Amino acid sequence: MIKGLATSQHLVHLSSVDIVIIVFYFALVLAIGFYLRGRANTGEDFFMAGREMTAWVAGLSFLSANLGALELMGWAGSAYQYGILATHWYWIGAIPAMLFLALVMMPFYYISKTHSVPGYLKLRFGEASRALSAVSFAFMTVLMSGVNMFAMAKVMQIVLGWPLSFSIWVSSLTVAIYVALGGLRSAIFNEVLQFFLIWAGALLIPILGLYEAGGWAHLKVLIAQRASAEYVHLWSGLGSFGTNPMGINWVGIVFGLGAIISMGYWTTDFLVVQRILAAKDMRSAQLAPIIGAGFKMFVPIIVILPGLLGLGLLPMKLTGEADALLTGGHSYNDVLPLMLARYCGPGLLGLGVTALIAGFMSGMAGNVSAFTTVWTYDIYRALINKKGSDAHYVSMGRWTTVIGVLISVGTAYLVMRSASIMDYVQALFSFFIAPLFGTVILGMLWKRATAAGAFWGLFLGTLSSIGMWVSVKVDPSALAYVALSSKAKPMAQDMFQALWAFVICVVVTVVVSLMTKPKPDAELEGLVYGLTPIPSLKGISMFQKPIFWAAVVTVIFVGLNIIFW
């Protein structure tokens, strides 16, 4: 794989203007890190940004941490491979979960003043559940960081001919420096900057591409001619597994993706939740995910649309990664850099490349800062050194940032033979996120859940998902049992793995909890619904309340799904 990449011809050359733009960006993010170093001397400042972020800053950072090079490159490739169905991961697979986080789960995270999601499990269920969730999250985070690194290096190699190692080390070490210096505050401020840079650079492709295609209506005609009319419909082809490009049905999308994976990711993945925990007050903490949801609905313009444009306009046919290696062609993952090279000249190319680099750094910084906090608070302090000073834990956090980046570099090579980056990512989510969501949601909503139930539910839920994945790898016929159809494709398999892992986690947790003794109600105040007084937002108008803006986002969300049915 590495040899194949190294010999690929780059598509464009940077002009001096492009180079200046890219160098200026690197200098700017490092300057932010050095500037904020003096405000990251305590644990609360380094790991939680002092809990003083406004709703807008926390909301844009919340979204930007998820909008990395992985998103830009991976979902553009998935849109080429699966059509507009990939948009489900931005709408049904994000918006309901983000609103649920804001209105239901955020009060508990914020009231408990926890530093992490595993930290909440410690308060609710004890040390065993916290340790298990922390170790699995740390493992998933470094794997996800590797995906971001691979995505970035692949784009730079195809577009510019940069060596794989150069792209990885320059960008990742830059992230390590500014996060180690300024902690979460530095990551958040850079993520807000990167949010605007990503949109400024990535909008070039959809604008110029739609102009070349003759508008959305004509692009749909081109896609129908080259692939199928089902590539431009969100819901109408989901009646069965064989009537859509993804080989999935509505059950997998609604329950596997919408109810399990997305709920698990947006409400329990500390990568994104950490940004909200840094908000200055309860109202800001609830508004931040709603602001993020409002912007999230329009991200398909810069992520999904480039893949659809490639499907309708590129002269060559892209294939899976393995096929591309054999034929010397391009894979699904190459569609975004190919479209970037198609439309961007001097100056514009520098802006587009900077957007991709910003996307990589945003995703990478999110993973690194979350890994650092979970390692320091939920593994190192909880299991290794319980008596360290605050300054010692800050120092550990800085070193862990650098070490986490180095570990992530090694994991980048694990994804290089994936036909689609996002297939790999969704498998990881089904392993670790789906059962974690089952544990957290039961802990918040059911006071009868016990420590033993939570631990065994989380453990067996995670183990079952990995076991299903392995069984299909060993015997492909097992797919008929995992995904309920032998026609299911990898993405469909991941959705059903997540669904079964969640069900197993919940069933085991309930059964074991009913057989063991629960905590008394007095110990669950502030941790469980029904036993926790939720602060009301009095003295503000309806237009300032989170519930009002959540309703606005819901109306727009429903309208978009109807329009693209």
- Which residue type is seen at 540? I
Q: How confident is the model at residue 2 (pLDDT cuts 50, 70, 90)?
A: very low
Task: Give the pLDDT confidence score for residue 321 in this predicted structure.
Answer: 58
Q: Give 319's strand partners.
A: 331
Whether 72 and 198 have beta carbons less than 8 Å apart is answered as yes
pLDDT in tens, 413-433: 666 555 556 666 777 778 888
pLDDT in tens, 293-305: 999 999 999 889 9
Task: Give the pLDDT confidence score for residue 8 in this predicted structure.
Answer: 43
Lowest mean pLDDT among 11-20, 215-224, 410-419, 475-484: 410-419
pLDDT in tens, 362-404: 777 777 888 888 888 888 888 888 888 888 888 888 888 888 8
pLDDT in tens, 41-72: 777 777 766 677 888 888 888 887 777 666 77
DSSP letter (8 states) at residue 113: T
Spell out the residues 6+ positions from residue 414 whose beta carbon is closer than 8 angstroms to its own.
143, 146
Task: Give the pLDDT confidence score for residue 329 in this predicted structure.
Answer: 65
Whether 82 and 245 have beta carbons less than 8 Å apart is answered as yes
Q: How confident is the model at residue 442 (pLDDT cuts 50, 70, 90)?
A: very high
- Which residue type is seen at 471? S
Percentage of the chain exceeding pLDDT 70? 90
Task: Give the pLDDT confidence score for residue 5 in this predicted structure.
Answer: 33
Instruction: Answer whether residue 30 shows pLDDT above 90.
Output: no
* Residue written as token pair 């110990």: 523
Residue 340 has, within 13 A of its CA and on its CB side, a CA count of: 34
- Which residue type is seen at 535? P
* 106 or 97, higher pLDDT: 97
pLDDT in tens, 181-235: 777 777 788 888 888 888 887 888 899 999 998 899 999 998 888 878 888 888 8
Please give the mean pLDDT across all residues of the chain.
81
Dihedral sign, Cα of residue 136, residue 103, residue 253, residue 296: negative
Domain residue limits, the chain: 2-418+536-563
Instruction: Answer whether residue 360 shows pLDDT above 90.
Output: no
Task: Give the pLDDT confidence score for residue 3 in this predicted structure.
Answer: 33
For residue 271, count other CB atoms closer than 10 A to its CB.
24
* 210 or 173, higher pLDDT: 210
Task: Give the pLDDT confidence score for residue 461 in this predicted structure.
Answer: 93
Structure tokens at 391: 């300054």
For residue 30, count other CB atoms closer than 10 A to its CB.
16
Task: Give the pLDDT confidence score for residue 1 in this predicted structure.
Answer: 29
CATH second-level architecture of 2-418+536-563?
A: Up-down Bundle (1.20)
* 247 or 389, higher pLDDT: 389
Separation between Cα atoms, residue 528 and residue 504, nearest integer Å = 22
Virtual torsion, Cα 549, 554, 557, 561, nearest 10 deg: -170
Helix (H, G, I), strand (E, B) or coil at 331: strand
Q: Give 279's strand partners.
A: 53
pLDDT in tens, 484-525: 777 777 767 887 888 899 999 999 999 999 999 999 988 888
pLDDT in tens, 516-563: 999 998 888 888 888 877 777 677 777 788 889 999 999 999 999 999
Whether 565 and 234 have beta carbons less than 8 Å apart is answered as yes
